[in-house]
Amino acid sequence: MAEVLQPGQQIRPVISVPEATSLVEKIYGVQVDNIKELDAYDDKNYHIIVKSQPSNESLKSVWPHGYVFKILNSMDSKKVSYVDAQNQMMLHLTKNGIRCTQPLPNKGGDLFSIEEINGSRHIIRLLQFEPGQILYNVPVNPELCSQTGIFLAQINTALEDFQHPAYDDHSTIWALDSVPKLTNFLFAVTDEGQKNLAGLVIAAFVERVVPLIGQLPKGMIHGDFNEHNILVRQFSEQWVSDGVLDFGDTQVNCYLFEVALAACYMMLMAKEKLTPLQAGTLVVAGYHKLRPLSSKELCLMRVCICARLCQSLVLGLYSHSQDPSNTYVLQTAQSGSGWTILENTWKLSDEEFSKALLQAIDNLKK
């Protein structure tokens, strides 16, 4: 069974920008012109621009948009086969018409390597940077919500014929079926009302969802289809989702979990005339239009959305307690809406949520 994050475990790479620059130049034979650290949870990611033709014969030319230099956390760096699986999945999706990041070979021709960094071993990779906006930076409207659900369904369809042995026993604390383990991290929630709410959501997931996991349709899923991992482009003044980033949480799991996760994060993006409930149900409706969900999956959707909100909030607070300088992990909470959306969605009855969901599905048929 794969290792899962435990409370108090320090896994984030300890490395400075100059050290990262030196490392990528040494391993990949490039000369860095500019380097900027990107937001990340437990890894270290950098956007780099290189100066000229690399001395790496495996790189045919300089990609004008730059590269993402990824240094995995020490725990994920033990999962060598899983990193290979992610690389192969990116290549598979590209062949199937899904725009995504691409792994690039180092000077030895390998798509990753293991390096000693300040006393800890970490897997490093260089990925082709995909241009475009991320969904987080654009206004969300009903059309974008439903289209994003459709795009997620297209990704799941493209992955139906993809397999890799690394996924056979892969597990992560961020997988939705790991929600019962959240009780070990509730100490990071200092507000008693929020802690009690999280406890209720976890208990409901254990009671209602866990016993049915074996009966739900499963397959290869992205596992982290959120507003920072979705690329968008503008067509005829309308933003559409057309690319996907970050394969660090890919897994074999319930399609229900994939859709609930996407709905959860779009709910956090809802503003002005679009309510969180409308945003979430539109994502589900878009997915359902291309890949119909069963009545059992639809009935469990509200609890699973709440479970993901809870997961993001609790683990964000925990990660911040371990590394107070990393405020990115608090984004769900700092948006000012995370706990409020969780509370409001939790207060809904199954009947109220189902009514809104069926209305969204019906509207998309018109």
- Dump pLDDT digits (tens) for 336-358: 589 999 999 999 999 999 999 99
For tokens 């239009």, the residue is: 289
Least confident of 26-35, 100-109, 323-332: 323-332
Number of residues that this document lists for the chain: 366
DSSP 180-225: GGGGGGGGG---HHHHHHHHHHHHHIIIIIGGGGGGS-EEEE-S--
Distance CA 79, CA 276 (A): 36
pLDDT mean over 286-290: 98
* For residue 53, pLDDT beyond 80: no
Q: What's residue 51's pLDDT?
A: 81
The predicted model gives 229-249 an average pLDDT of 93
Angle at 255 between CA 143 and CA 269, to 5 degrees: 35
Predicted structure pTM score:
0.88
Nearest to 334 by CA among 320, 353, 345, 347: 320
Looking at residue 1, what is its pLDDT? 44
Helix (H) or strand (E) holding 115: strand 113-117
DSSP 81-150: HHHHHHHHHHHHHHHTT-EE-EEE--TTS-S-EEEEETTEEEEEEEEEPPPSEEGGGS---HHHHHHHHH
Question: What are the angstrom distances between the C-alpha of 284 and each of 47, 151, 288, 303, 313?
Answer: 33, 11, 6, 14, 22
Average pLDDT along the chain: 91
Geometric angle at alpha carbon 62, from 61 and 65, rounded to 5° = 140
pLDDT beyond 90 at 98: yes
Decide if pLDDT at 273 tops 90.
no
pLDDT at 201: 98
How many CA atoms lie within 13 Å of 170's alpha carbon, on the beta-carbon side?
A: 29
Give CA–CA dist 107/129, Å, rounded.
Answer: 19
17-130 CATH fold? Phosphorylase Kinase; domain 1 (3.30.200)
DSSP 310: H
Pair 111, 84: CB distance under 8 Å: yes
Does residue 180 surpass a pLDDT of 50? Answer: yes
Picking from 17, 34, 19, 25, the residue whose alpha carbon sits closest to that of residue 56 is 25
Q: What pairs with residue 221 in β-bridges?
A: 251
**Model pLDDT, residue 95:** 96
- Percent of the chain exceeding pLDDT 70 equals 91
Q: What share of the chain is helix, strand, coil (3-state, %, to 5)?
A: 50, 15, 35
Distance CA 151, CA 362 (A): 19
Q: How confident is the model at residue 310 (pLDDT cuts 50, 70, 90)?
A: very high
Domain ranges for the chain? 17-130, 134-365
Q: Would you state the CATH architecture of domain 134-365?
A: Alpha-Beta Complex (3.90)
The span from the CA of 27 to the CA of 98, in Å, is 29
**What pLDDT, on a 0 to 100 scale, did the predictor assign at position 169?**
87
133-134 and 230-235 as β-strands: parallel, antiparallel, unpaired?
antiparallel
Token pair of 40, please?
């990340």
Partner residues linked to 232 by β-bridges: 133, 241
26 vs 302: CA distance, rounded Å: 49
Separate counts of helices (H) and strands (E) for the chain: 10, 12
Q: Give the other-Cβ count within 10 Å of 311's Cβ.
A: 26
**Across residues 287-315, what is the average pLDDT?**
97
pLDDT digits (tens, 9 = 90+) for 100-114: 988 999 989 999 999
Given a contact cutoff of 8 angstroms between Cβ atoms, the answer to whether 220 and 252 are in contact is: yes
